[in-house]
Every structure is written in structure tokens, then in C-alpha cells.
Amino acid sequence: MNNNSPAERSENLQNTTPPPPETLNIPLTPEEIQEYGIIVAHSMKDIQNKFNEDLITPGVMRAGGIINGIVKAWKSAEDWGVLKGARFLELEAGSRNGKNKPYSAELAAVNGAQVIAIDELPQTDIDQKLFTDIQADVIDLVYKGKLANHPDLKGKKFDIINAIEVDEQLEFHPRYWAKRNPDDFRATLLNQLKLLLAKDGIINTYHDEYYREVNGELVEFRNTS
């Protein structure tokens, strides 16, 4: 709980205004960053230490943990700057037009990743400046075997595929209730994601569970760094 006065909170927020976007290769103005509450962070410590606590919601903290885990699993790093130039696919990304916000996609994008984010809801204009938006039902595409062949994904390869939210949303999807076979769904999902995975890339599926391709097969590993 923030016990500071409104004036003190305002002053703290001004003191945490991010550096000019051109120094971070972020296609947003400082005013847009502040108005829309875009979190510019380059490590988990940034999220924990640099921002006024009014900005840090459970969703932001969770997204920070996801990005932190991905960076450690992919490059054994703590600085999210290693994401610069990485081809990053975010499934069930969320949208500022809905309940779940696209915090993971935003954090990856502000660190220089080339992000494609898929969600049923359209992204706002501000997020479309940060990453590529594909409006689609991921779970439906997986059940139909059409995810890897989606016109905006076909032929593309990704260094990082974040599918952690797919598992979170699966139990709420009508197709799941029609079949109720999560293991079969996850196997189908991984088979399709394998087609999109670049050499030395990783797939994040559930908390600290990751996959990479070894000798043509997806091998599960856990982030222990």
C-alpha cells in the first residue's frame, strides 16, 4: 500500500519517467509511455525497484517473472537486453481492450524483440506501435491443426515462443469442454510450435517448463539458473 500523499506520488511518478524512447528504440513518445502506463524495464530488478508501486500490478509482476524466466532459460542472462532482435511469438497475448493486458509482449518489445502477439481481441493503437498484432483464436487454430499455417505465421521462425497463457486459457475454452483431453491438446500444440521454432530457440509452455529442439525432437528442460 502506498502511504505517500498524492503530491508525493505524482513527484515519484515524474522521477520514474523513462529515458527518451529513441535511446531505447521504442516507437513511442515519453508522453505515450506515461499516459498508457507502458512499463519500460530491462530486468526484474527494474520492475521491483525503479517504478512507483502504483504502477506495479500483479499482472505486471507475473509478466516480469515470465520474461525473466525466458531470458534465463534462453541465454542464462538476467539483463533483458539480450532480447534485442529476437523473434518473439506470444500466444494468448491479452489485450488492453480486455481483462488480461499484453504485458509480456510489451516488456519483450521495449527490450527490442520483434514481437508477434496473437489474441482473440484486437490490440490498441498504442500496442500496435510496439508489436505486430494477429487477431485469432489460438486454441481453435491448434485444435484445427492450422496454427503453424496461419497466413501471418507460415514460413516464419521464432527464437522464443511464449505459450504459457495457452494452458491458462485452455480450461475456459468451449472446444476443451467438448473434448476434455488436455494432454492430447498439448501434444498437438507442441507439434505445431515445433514447425515455428528457430534453431537454438525455446518454447515456454508452463511456468519453468521449456522445450528446445535436439536432433529433430523437442526436449523438455527446466530453468535452473
Bridging pattern class, strands 217-222 and 158-162? unpaired
Residue 171: per-residue pLDDT: 72
In a domain, 42, yes or no: no
Residue 55: per-residue pLDDT: 65
Banded model confidence at residue 109, pLDDT cuts 50, 70, 90? very high
Q: What is the mean pLDDT of residues 58-84?
A: 94
CATH code for the domain of 134: 3.40.50
Give the Cα separation of 63 and 59 in Å (integer): 6
Q: What is the mean pLDDT of residues 15-23?
A: 45
Q: What is the mean pLDDT of residues 32-47?
A: 91
Banded model confidence at residue 10, pLDDT cuts 50, 70, 90? very low
**Per-residue pLDDT at 3 exceeds 60:** no
Inter-axis angle of helices 58-75 and 103-110, nearest 10: 50
Give the Cα separation of 157 and 15 in Å (integer): 40
Determine which of 11-20, 60-69, 177-186 has the lowest per-residue pLDDT on average. Answer: 11-20
In a domain, 213, yes or no: yes
The count of domains in the chain is 1
Domain span holding position 155? 53-222
**What order of strands is seen across the sheet that includes strand 87-91?**
132-135, 114-119, 87-91, 158-162, 197-206, 209-214, 217-222
In a domain, 11, yes or no: no
CB 106 within 8 A of CB 55: no
**Per-residue pLDDT at 17 exceeds 90:** no
Residue 2: per-residue pLDDT: 42
Q: What is the mean pLDDT of residues 60-73?
A: 95
Q: What is the mean pLDDT of residues 23-38?
A: 84
Banded model confidence at residue 177, pLDDT cuts 50, 70, 90? low
* pTM for the structure as a whole: 0.86
SS (H, E, C) the chain: CCCCCHHHHHHHHHHCCCCCHHHCCCCCCHHHHHHCCCCCCCCHHHHHHCCCHHHCCHHHHHHHHHHHHHHHHHHCCCCHHHHCCCEEEEECCCCCCCCCCCHHHHHHHHCCCEEEEEECCCCCHHHHCCCEEEECCHHHHHHCCCCCCCCCCCCCCEEEEECHHHHHHHCCCHHHHHHCCHHHHHHHHHHHHHCCEEEEEEEEEECCEEEEEECCEEEEEECCC
How many Å from the N-terminal Cα to the C-terminal Cα in the chain?
32
In a domain, 43, yes or no: no
**Per-residue pLDDT at 15 exceeds 60:** no
Q: What is the mean pLDDT of residues 112-121?
A: 97
Determine which of 7-11, 39-43, 108-112 has the lowest per-residue pLDDT on average. Answer: 7-11
Residue 224: per-residue pLDDT: 67
Banded model confidence at residue 16, pLDDT cuts 50, 70, 90? very low
Residue 169: per-residue pLDDT: 80
CB 40 within 8 A of CB 144: no
